[in-house]
Amino acid sequence: MGTSATASLHPTAPPTASAPVARYRDAKVGGCTAAVVSTLADGSVHLRSTEALADFPDRLTDRLAHWAAQAPDRLFVARRAAPAAPGAPRGDWQGITYAQMLERVRCVGQHLLDLKLSADHPLAILSGNDLEHLTLALAAMWVGVPHVPVSTAYSLVSQDFGKLRHILATTTPGLVFASDLAYAKAIEATVPADVPVVLTDGALPQRESLAFSSLLQGSPGPAVDAAHAATGPDTIVKFLFTSGSTKAPKGVITTHRMVCANQQMIRQCLGFFADEPPVLVDWLPWNHVFGGSHNTGITLYNGGTLYIDDGKPTPAGMAETLRNLREISPTVYFNVPKGLEEIARAMDTDTQLRDTLFKRCKAMMFAGAALSQAVWDRLDAHAEAAVGERVRIITGLGMTETAPSCTFAVGTDVASGHIGLPVPGVEVKLVPVDGKTEIRFRGPHVMPGYWRSPEQTAAAFDEDGFYRTGDAVRWIDPANPQRGLLFDGRTAEDFKLSTGTFVSVGPLRARIVAAGDPCIQDAVITGLNRDEVGALVIPRPDECRRLAGLPAHTPLPETLHHPAVRAFFQQVANRLWREATGSATGVARMHVLAEPPQIDHGEVTDKGSINQRAVLAHRASLVEALYAGPGADPFVILPDTTAAR
C-alpha cells in the first residue's frame, strides 16, 4: 500500500569479531537510537522514540520567509543552463537565492490567484525538476493552492497516457505546466481544451497557453498576502500520487503539517543538518516523495542549497551526474542503489570524482530498492581512500503516505536490510498478519487520506488510526529490540505452494538479486498452488552486454543467448538451489525476461518498482511455459539439482 522510501532487502551477516573497527566521519545523529517498547494484550507491539518531537512551523513556506530574511543572498537552488546546441553538454550553473525565490513566489502566486486555482482545480506539473517547476510549486504553496507533480514517464514514455489521464481526472486541474513542446502530445490527449497551459519554451497553437516568463511579470497585490495568511497546518500542499506498484495510483493528500512535522523528525535524527546548511546534488524526481518532499524539504527547512542534477542512473544519463559530482561537494548524498553502484564503479578509476564527493559528505542514503553489500563495501573503501574514514550510510523506512520518514537506522553498525527504530513523534504498531509482522504508523506526518477516494482512505487505516503499510518487518535481534528492525518484504506478496508450504516473497527476491548482482535487477516469484518455486528474472541489459563484451545496441534476446550470459545465469540458478533450505526457498526454475516490464501494462512503475501481480497476470503464458518442462521455453534455466545442499 505504501511506497517504501528506503526498502532495504538484502540480509547481511554482521562483521566478524576479528574485523578491525572502522573510523567514521563525525556527524551528529540521534532521535531514533532508542525506543520505548510495549506489548499489548492483542499481541501487537508498540514502539516510540524515547525523544519527544520538538516544535515545528505551521507552514513550510514559513521556512522560505525565514531564510529570505536571515540569509537573503544564500543560494537556494541552481541548475545548469540548457545546452547551447542539441547534443552539447549543459552550460554553467544558474541559481536563485532565498530572497530572489521569495520575490518570484509572490509574483507567480498572484497569477495563480488570478486564474482562480483551488483545491478542486489545482496546478498540475507534467515536467521534471527545474527552476520553473520549483518556483511554481512554492508559489502554489504560498497562496494555498495544491500542486500535482506528475511523473514525466506518464507523458513521455507511456503510449496510451492511461496513468496521466487517471491522475488528471482525479484532480481536475485548473492549470497545467510543462517545460516544452515534448509534452504537447500528452497534453492534447489528456487535458481538456478549456484548461490553460503554461510552457517554459514554445507555445501550443490550438489552445490557450502562457509563457512561464509572463508569470514573473507584474507585482503581487494584497490578495497574495491575504491568501498566504489564510494558509495553515491543514492546508493541502500537494497531491502526491503513489507509483501504482499494486493498484492504480492514489492521490495522497499532503499538508503543511505532514511535511513540517516530518522535516523536524528528520532534523532531530540527522542533527548535522542543524550544524551546517546542507548542500545537495540531486536528480531524484519531485513527483516522488523521496525527491519531492524529503530532499527538497531538507534543503528548504534547513536553509541549504540544492543543485538540480540533470543526470540519471542510466548508461546515457550517468555522465551528467558524474560531471556534477566532480564539481560540487555535497554534505549529504541521496540516490537509488543503481546510481550508487555506477558512482562506485566510476570512482575505481576517477580520483577527482572520489575526492570531491567525499570532501565534506557527512552521510549517504539510498531509496526505492536494496543496496547490495558489495556496493556498500566499495563505497566504504572509496571513502577511506579519499578522506581516511567512512561516512555513514543511512537506511530507514518511509512512504508517500507518511511524508515520508518513519524509521531511521543511523548508527555505524548499519547494514543493508536494517530500517532502525521510530523517529521522534511517530508511533509504531507491529501486528501479526498471516505469519508475518506488518508495521503500521500513526503521527502528525501521516496523511489524512487519499484525494476523492473515501473507500480507499477507510481501508488504509486500522481501528486505532494507524496507517496500514503492507510492509513486513522483523527484529534484527529479538532478544535486544534496541538494535532495531529489518525489512521483511510485503505481506500481500506471499503465497503457498500446493504442498501448503508458505513462500515469503520479499526475502526470496532479495536472495535472487544478491546472487545475480550486477546482472539481475529484480525477480517475480511464481509457484502459487504449484509444487515448486520459480522466478521470472528481470535482467539489467547494460550489465549483461558488459559481461558478454557486446555493443550497447545489441538486442536483449541476442544478449541473453550469449554463452557468457547463459553461463552466468546458470551459475546463479545453481547457487540459489544449492543454498536453499527447503522447497519455499529453492528456486527450481528461472525464466530470464527478454522483454522488459511495460509501464502501460502496469508491470513497472515510473521509478522502476515491479508490480508482481501485474507481471504474473500479463505473462501468464510464460509462467505456464516455465512449468511445462525442458524445451518449452528457450529462456528457461534449470539448476543443477544433483549438487548437494
The answer to whether the CB of 150 falls within 8 A of the CB of 167 is yes
Residue 10, pLDDT > 60, answer no
Task: Tell me the average pLDDT across 576-603.
Answer: 90
Residue 633, pLDDT > 80, answer no
Cell 522535516 sits at which residue?
263
Question: What band does 392 get if pLDDT is binned at 50, 70 and 90?
Answer: very high
Residue 440, pLDDT > 50, answer yes
Q: What is the mean pLDDT of the chain?
A: 92
Cα distances (Å, whole numbers) of residue 576 to 31, 507, 513, 515, 631:
39, 13, 11, 7, 22
Task: Tell me the average pLDDT across 44-55.
Answer: 98
Question: What band does 417 get if pLDDT is binned at 50, 70 and 90?
Answer: confident
The fraction of the chain above a pLDDT of 90, given in percent, is 77
Span 105-157, pLDDT tens digits: 999 999 999 999 999 999 999 999 999 999 999 999 999 999 999 999 999 99
Task: Tell me the average pLDDT across 292-319.
Answer: 95
Residue 4, pLDDT > 50, answer no
Residue 2, pLDDT > 60, answer no
Which pLDDT belongs to residue 24? 97
Q: Of 309 and 529, which is predicted with more confidence?
A: 309
Rg over alpha carbons for the chain, rounded to the nearest Å, is 24
Within 8 A by CB and 6+ apart from 305, the residues are 74, 75, 76, 77, 78, 277, 278, 279, 280, 299
Domain-wise residue ranges, the chain: 98-231, 494-637
Which pLDDT belongs to residue 16? 42
Residue 642 CB neighbours (<10 A): 7
The answer to whether the CB of 270 falls within 8 A of the CB of 394 is yes
Which pLDDT belongs to residue 132? 98
**Burial zone of 182 (CB within 10 Å; 0-12 exposed, 13-18 middle, 19+ buried):** middle
Tell me which of 3.30.70.600, 3.40.640.10, 3.30.300.30, 3.20.20.20 is the CATH number of domain 494-637. 3.30.300.30
What does the block give as the cell for 635? Answer: 529462456
**Burial zone of 156 (CB within 10 Å; 0-12 exposed, 13-18 middle, 19+ buried):** middle
Task: Tell me the average pLDDT across 30-43.
Answer: 94
Residue 102, pLDDT > 60, answer yes
Span 516-560, pLDDT tens digits: 989 999 999 999 888 899 999 999 999 999 999 999 899 999 999
Which pLDDT belongs to residue 247? 65
For residue 518, whether the previous peptide bond is cis, meaning omega lies within 30 degrees of 0, is: yes
Residue 11, pLDDT > 50, answer no
Dist CA 492 CA 528 (whole Å):
13
Residue 369, pLDDT > 80, answer no
Q: Which of 18-22, 168-172, 251-255 has the lowest mean pLDDT?
A: 18-22
Residue 239 phi/psi, 5° resolution?
-105, 110
Residue 200, pLDDT > 70, answer yes
| Range with the largest mean pLDDT of 5-9, 13-17, 384-388, 616-620 | 384-388
Residue 322, pLDDT > 70, answer yes
Fold of 98-231: Rossmann fold (3.40.50)
Question: What band does 643 get if pLDDT is binned at 50, 70 and 90?
Answer: low
Which pLDDT belongs to residue 325? 98
The residues that bridge with 7 in the sheet, in sequence order, are none
Cα distances (Å, whole numbers) of residue 391 to 13, 20, 34, 275, 328:
20, 16, 21, 16, 17
Span 60-90, pLDDT tens digits: 999 999 999 999 999 999 999 999 888 899 9
Dist CA 527 CA 535 (whole Å):
8
Which pLDDT belongs to residue 469? 96
Residue 594, pLDDT > 70, answer yes
